[in-house]
Amino acid sequence: MLASQGIVSAEDAAAILAGLDAIETEIAEGRFDFKIELEDIHMNIESRLAELIGPAAGRLHTARSRNDQVATDFKLWVRNALARLDADIKALQAALIAQAESHAATIMPGFTHLQLAQPVTFGHHLLAYVEMLGRDRARVVDAIGRAEDCPLGAAALAGSPYPIDRQAAATALGFARPSANSIDAVSDRDFALDYLATAAILAVHLSRFAEELVLWSSDQFAFVRLSDGFTTGSSIMPQKRNPDAAELVRAKTGRIVGDLNGLLIALKGLPLAYSKDMQEDKEPVFDAEDTLALSLAAMTCMVADMNVNADSMRLAADRGFVTATDLADWLVRALGLPFRQAHHVAGGLVKQAETRGVQLSDLTLDEFQAALPAIDRRVYDVLTVEASVASRMSEGGTAPARVREAVLAARARYL
């Protein structure tokens, strides 16, 4: 751009580009001699360029500042990191969708407050995480869209006196447009905060699923079994299979949330335009990127690798009177009771079954009719977990037919 605008000669531009290519190779191969007395990466490169091409190296810094150059470089890095993040989330979605398809009709207990609530299918439960991750990917797209302004050409803060073509520079670097305000261009780190905010929300989603894997793989639940690749034994208890990978994913969420908080606090109250405080922008972003890449890879492999114990899930779904809501709904649909009255009748029958130590389906018809004479034998048709799950045919519901539809829709939407 500088050459095309006549700001530097074509010969000097060619020499600078050739020298920079050589320096890039030296750095990639570990042969570049960084000198601490040269203050920073910029001065090291310019000094080495002078050794390679002579006085033309002095024109390298024309019409630019370290301020706009760093903002540009870092924004380019974050945009690439966001693209990598999207691909990693997509891989986890693919693993979840595959398991959901295999277990579209596998019955498990659903929970609220970690108490038995209503029966659902395991496939339906897994698809909930697919939707959460879909929102994470939408945030990634939004963050990329807000990082389309190129800071290069803002110089230190006031712009440049040279006849530069900022749109040409922005286009060459893959940005949509130059930044609109030179002060904002060098002081903006919203793109880094966008990345970290997206990362933090994603990490919270991963931690919720990791916690469920920890619970499900315990002897008390025994819903899934994780392989040796994602568990470790105890140093003294030979029977133990500790879900270490899931626990570490759960723990690393705090680290990523801390990265976001750290940068928010570093930027808080900074006057415009550039301050050295802003040098603290990179470590939290780099740390979050490394941590997320590892966590997503581990979670994707755990999902693909886990062995589902459908029998244990089905047995657990038979406990806790999980069809009580189905009973209340049947009283409304079949007998026309107001739901509040139906809820009261069903609650009384649950107490009776609990006192006898049986399930609702084990109550006799006489016991049902003692609670409400209008109840007939049709009531037994709604008291199995299979009937309960199959009845949830509303859009987004847990019925196996709906889950299979949702799998196809998720595949088309996300993969």
pLDDT at 347: 95
Q: Which residues of 367-402 are buried (b: 16+ CB within 10 A; e: fewer)?
A: bbeebbeebeeebeebbbbeebbbbbeeeebbbbeb
**Secondary structure of the chain as H, E, C letters:** CCCCCCCCCHHHHHHHHHHHHHHHHHHHCCCCCCCHHHCCHHHHHHHHHHHHHHHHHHHCCCCCCHHHHHHHHHHHHHHHHHHHHHHHHHHHHHHHHHHHHHCCCCEEEEEECCEEEEEEEHHHHHHHHHHHHHHHHHHHHHHHHCCCEECCCCCCCCCCCCCCCHHHHHHHCCCCEECCCHHHHHHCCHHHHHHHHHHHHHHHHHHHHHHHHHHHCCCCCCCEECCHHHCECCCCCCCCCECHHHHHHHHHHHHHHHHHHHHHHHHCCCCCCCCHHHHHHHHHHHHHHHHHHHHHHHHHHHHHHCEECHHHHHHHHCCCCCCHHHHHHHHHHHHCCCHHHHHHHHHHHHHHHHHHCCCHHHCCHHHHHHHCCCCCHHHHHHCCHHHHHHHCCCCCCCCHHHHHHHHHHHHHHHC
Beta bridge partners of 112: 115
Q: Give the pairing of strands 107-112 and 115-121.
A: antiparallel
Residue type, 388: S
Q: Give the pairing of strands 224-225 and 307-308.
A: antiparallel
Q: How far is CA 197 from the centre of its chain?
A: 10
**How many angstroms separate the Cα of 14 from the Cα of each of 20, 63, 168, 394?**
10, 17, 18, 66
Pair 14, 22: CB distance under 8 Å:
no
Residue 113 among the catalytic residues: yes
Q: Positive or negative, the Cα torsion across 339, 341, 344, 349?
A: negative
**Residue of 113, 124, 227, 295 marked active site:** 113
Backbone φ, ψ for residue 389 (5° rounding): -65, -45
Beta bridge partners of 242: 232
**How many angstroms separate the Cα of 55 from the Cα of each of 46, 48, 50?**
11, 11, 6
Alpha-carbon gap, residue 100 to 144, rounded angstroms: 30
**Residue of 234, 343, 344, 394 marked active site:** 234
Residue 47 among the catalytic residues: no
List the pLDDT tens digit at each of the 415 positions of the chain: 999 999 999 999 999 999 999 999 999 999 999 999 998 999 999 999 999 999 999 999 999 999 999 999 999 999 999 999 999 999 999 999 999 999 999 999 999 999 999 999 999 999 999 999 999 999 999 999 999 999 999 999 999 999 999 999 999 999 999 999 999 999 999 999 999 999 999 999 999 999 999 999 999 999 999 988 888 877 788 777 888 999 999 999 999 999 999 999 999 999 999 999 999 999 999 999 999 999 999 999 999 999 999 999 999 998 888 999 999 999 999 999 999 999 999 999 999 999 999 989 999 999 999 999 999 999 999 999 999 999 999 999 999 999 999 999 999 999 9
CA quadruple 371, 377, 381, 384: dihedral, nearest 10: 50
This prediction has a pTM of 0.92
Pair 391, 381: CB distance under 8 Å:
no
